[in-house]
Amino acid sequence: MENRVVITGIGAITPIGIGKDAFWEALLAGKSGIKKTSRFDASDYTAQVAGEVQDFEPFNYIDKKEAKRMDRYTQFAVAASKLALEDSKIDLDQEDRDRIGVIIGTGIGGIETLHTQYTTLFDKGPGRISPFFIPMMIGNMAAGQTSITFGLKGPSSCVVTACATGTNSIGDACRLIQRGDADAMVAGGTEACISPAAVAGFCSMKALCSDHNADPEKASRPFDKTRSGFVMGEGAGVVLLESLEHAEKRGAHIYAEIVGYGSNSDAFHITSPAPGGAQAAKCMQIALKDAKLAPESVDYINAHGTSTHLNDETETAAVKTVFGDHAYKLAMSSIKSMTGHLLGAAGGIECIATALTIENDIMPPTINYEVPDEGLDLDYVPNKSREKVVNVALSNSLGFGGHNACLILKKYVK
């Protein structure tokens, strides 16, 4: 029999707040974290707004010497992991650390380090490249450094599935616990790619919103007819997962139980979702089957909801395919309206938001929803958070390359 898996710790580093409480309070208040880009001079860029993490001081979470050897994306991951472990109140000195692992993924990795080191190479020559360049840049170091920092010697790996990364990381970590390969896993996603080359690349694709440079807080507007592209964000979302037996044995607080996980591929296009969302729908169905739940049992969907024309149309169509008439009875919102799109970290913070929705029976809103779009006619929880008993919730992530991942969370019942 498979082990049941529960969420017992939460660590959030986001553009709307650092830590569980600040993040959740900002979500419920409908607070936007989108501002003018400040990490570099974006005045020549078509898109000049971003969801940047404010007031992040890595030395509050990481030894100063070690922090200087980490890219910002890794610093976010280690800090979020520290918050999740502290929130869980787990005493690692009393645990078998061979039975606790880490899966933290990233969509892009250490692109800030790549940018600065290439500048050094071209300006000063190869002899001036940092010996820490490679271990700072490579994508597995969020998981590696987290394992090292906390002495976690169980399974350790890095998922890279673009915008589905955080969700796949948590789902894959669940599988390890379910089959008994670990008692607990630190899992989620991290990203720090608000850098010149990354933003220029997304601008060149015409994927980013460029018509709200003077009014940043209005830029991310999922499901609204006037949406025109996503807003880049940064941060990390990490949870501590435990087997139910392990969590109960130590008297842990349980936020929610993860009961379903689905993962598949559109196999269609490098950036565009498949028309009609057929594979996204199948991914939700896989998760429902894994959870042994009927579609009618789902109360709330934390949508991928990127604020691009194709994504929001496709996801809405997929939800209608899966849920039929029930699609008009459940509620669905996108926190990207407030945080922007955290790429590889998106699924991590959205899993956290989903767990807190279940625990508190309050659904965060989709802000900036002003003009309904034809065919996008579901309940997107417009502009204000809403109290509602949420027993079962679905979190969707749909990534570049056609990567789809879904998690189903449920109120914990003994």
pLDDT tens digits for range 400-413: 999 999 999 999 99
Asked if residue 265 and residue 243 are part of one domain, the reply reads no
Asked if residue 302 and residue 225 are part of one domain, the reply reads no
Asked if residue 173 and residue 72 are part of one domain, the reply reads yes
Position 160 in a domain: yes
Is the per-residue pLDDT at 1 higher than 80? no
Asked if residue 68 and residue 119 are part of one domain, the reply reads yes
Enclosing H/E stretch for 65: helix 64-67
Instruction: Tell me the mean pLDDT in the region 254-264.
Output: 98
Q: How many domains does the chain have?
A: 2
* Mean pLDDT of the residues in the chain: 97
Residue where a domain terminates, one of 204, 220, 249: 249
| Cα-trace Rg, the chain | 20
Query: Do 164 and 311 form a contact (C-beta atoms < 8 A)?
Result: no
Enclosing H/E stretch for 6: strand 5-14
Is the per-residue pLDDT at 56 higher than 80? yes
Instruction: Tell me the mean pLDDT in the region 239-251.
Output: 98
pLDDT of amino acid 414: 84
Enclosing H/E stretch for 238: strand 235-243
Interacting residues of 329 by C-beta distance below 8 A, sequence separation 6+: none
Asked if residue 176 and residue 115 are part of one domain, the reply reads yes
pTM above 0.95, yes or no: yes
Is the per-residue pLDDT at 317 higher than 90? yes
pLDDT of amino acid 126: 97
Instruction: Tell me the mean pLDDT in the region 383-401.
Output: 97
Q: Which residue has the tokens 């039929």?
A: 324
Enclosing H/E stretch for 260: strand 256-265
* Residues designated as active site: 163
Instruction: Tell me the mean pLDDT in the region 183-190.
Output: 98
Residue pLDDT, tens place only, 95-148: 999 999 999 999 999 999 999 999 999 999 999 999 999 999 999 999 999 999
**What DSSP character marks residue 116?**
H
pLDDT of amino acid 199: 97
Q: Which residue has the tokens 């996980």?
A: 261
Return the number of other C-beta atoms located less than 10 Å from residue 119's C-beta: 11
Position 254 in a domain: no
Asked if residue 306 and residue 186 are part of one domain, the reply reads no
- Beta strands 392-399 and 300-302 are parallel
Using CA atoms, how far apart are residues 177 and 240, in angstroms rounded to an integer?
Answer: 11
Asked if residue 340 and residue 217 are part of one domain, the reply reads no
Return the number of other C-beta atoms located less than 10 Å from residue 272's C-beta: 14
Position 353 in a domain: yes
Position 255 in a domain: no
Position 145 in a domain: yes
Residue-range definition of the domain harbouring residue 285? 260-410
Residue 362 sits at φ, ψ, to 5 deg, of: -135, 130
**What DSSP character marks residue 53?**
P
Asked if residue 152 and residue 42 are part of one domain, the reply reads yes
Query: Do 380 and 222 form a contact (C-beta atoms < 8 A)?
Result: yes
Residue where a domain terminates, one of 249, 284, 303: 249
Using CA atoms, how far apart are residues 84 and 64, in angstroms rounded to an integer?
Answer: 20
Enclosing H/E stretch for 150: helix 141-150
Looking up residue 352, the CATH number of its domain turns out to be 3.40.47.10
Enclosing H/E stretch for 190: strand 184-191
Instruction: Tell me the mean pLDDT in the region 76-83.
Output: 98
- Beta strands 386-387 and 392-399 are unpaired
Instruction: Tell me the mean pLDDT in the region 69-82.
Output: 98
| CB environment 96-116: b (16+ within 10 A), e (fewer) | eeebbbbbbbbbbbbbbbbbb
